[in-house]
Amino acid sequence: MKQRHHTPEQVIRKLAEGDKLLAQGKSIEEVARHLEISEQTFHRWRNQYGGMKADDAKRLKELERENTRLKKIGADQALDIDMLKELNRGNF
């Protein structure tokens, strides 16, 4: 199966469609087939995006990017501190 990358908005739209199909009595297998995703992906998306609106998903992605950026800054600072400690000891 071809690997696809869905935006959070697309995922939320597909989950809403899937919920409607489930309410009509379709099985999860049928819903996943209709959405052209695996059952595992459907469950993962429900765990991650279940109950979210499109704006919430955008904000989540923004926060994840910001968190990654801040972690990188923290790691860089730790390396700078270690380097300065080594220079202070005279170990060039």
pLDDT, one tens digit per residue, over 18-52 is: 999 999 999 999 999 999 999 999 999 999 888 77
Q: For residue 42, what are its two tokens?
A: 């459907």
- Please report the pLDDT score of residue 91 as a whole number: 64
**2/19 Cα distance (integer angstroms):** 24
Smallest Cα–Cα separation from 9: which of 53, 70, 63? 53
Q: Is the pLDDT of residue 3 over 70?
A: no
Whole-model pTM: value is 0.59
For 66-81, the pLDDT digits (tens) are 999 999 999 999 999 9
